[in-house]
Amino acid sequence: MKIFEGEKIHLDIILQSKFLKKPESHCEPRARRGAKQSHFEDLRRELLSRKYSYKTVKAYTYYNIDFLNFTGKKTTDINDNDIKDYLLHLAEEKQFATSTLNQAINALKFYYGTMLKRKFVYEVKRPRRDKKLPVILSPEEVAKILSSVENIKHKAILMLTYSAGLRVGEVVNLRPTDIDGKRMLIHVKGAKGRKDRYSILSVKALSVLREYWQRFKPETWLFEGARAGRYISIRTVQKILERACQAVGIKKKITVHSLRHSFATHLLEGGTDLRYIQELLGHVHSKTTEIYTHVSTKSLGKIRSPLDSLALNEKE
């Protein structure tokens, strides 16, 4: 079909790297390869009954399988040292980021603490958070990226992501009915934390969307994927952005989420109140949104470097 021209189909990264990839036999004893997803069917059912997201169910199941494979024990024999050893393994050997370690802790706490009522799990200390600033694109860089994309579907995806500050999972899950052209709003449903919200709809993005709609007439999903009845994959969207960055020579290490970071920073630099930006992004806590004050050039651009005030003897 023409709607899929120029697209590459990729298997979900979680399925690639976690569930389908077998452990390396040269570094893991046979006993550590015994746990299977079926062993945690009770965990999966409990998570689904509590309306946890698909990604969370997959991640929690994976970490509990990986943990048992690491220890080579049964769930009834697990103690606090086993958990500490596993987290140390993830931190030192696997070099996992703090956010990933916290997800592993959440997964183990839910199963052993919430479900099996094992109190020792709650004594595990969480690692200190990494204080990393997001990579921000300049308005000129965003313009170059969007202008370089000729495929109307790909252009609409990237324009919506940037213009509304959407997460990549939110943009791929959009339905045609979520676009409100009269009120100039986008209805983001079931976002992070299972919360709905509205974000702004750009006039320019709407114009491109209408052109895309007239050409392809999407039905179930606004951006349909290669398989019938499925939306475009997150990995495909990431590849679209990577190709666009390569085409215009942008070498910053960015992801689709960088467009969301850039949206927030550009709004802040344009004078938009931080509280409104928080609402548009769907942040629960204002502290999460405040990170953009550290990457905004609105105030930093007014500061003059002391070097510029020195009288230097320049060699001719």
User: Which residues are catalytic, by number?
Assistant: 167, 192, 257, 260, 283, 292
DSSP string spanning 209-222? HHHHHHHH---SSS
* CA dist list (Å): 301 to 204, 265, 269, 296, 313: 29, 14, 11, 9, 26
- Can you tell me whether residue 36 is helix, strand or coil? coil
CA atoms within 13 A on the CB side of 215: 15
Give me Rg for the CA atoms of the chain: 23
Nearest to 19 by CA among 67, 59, 79: 59
φ, ψ of residue 7 to 5 degrees: the values are -105, 145
Beta strand pairing status for 179-180 and 195-200? unpaired
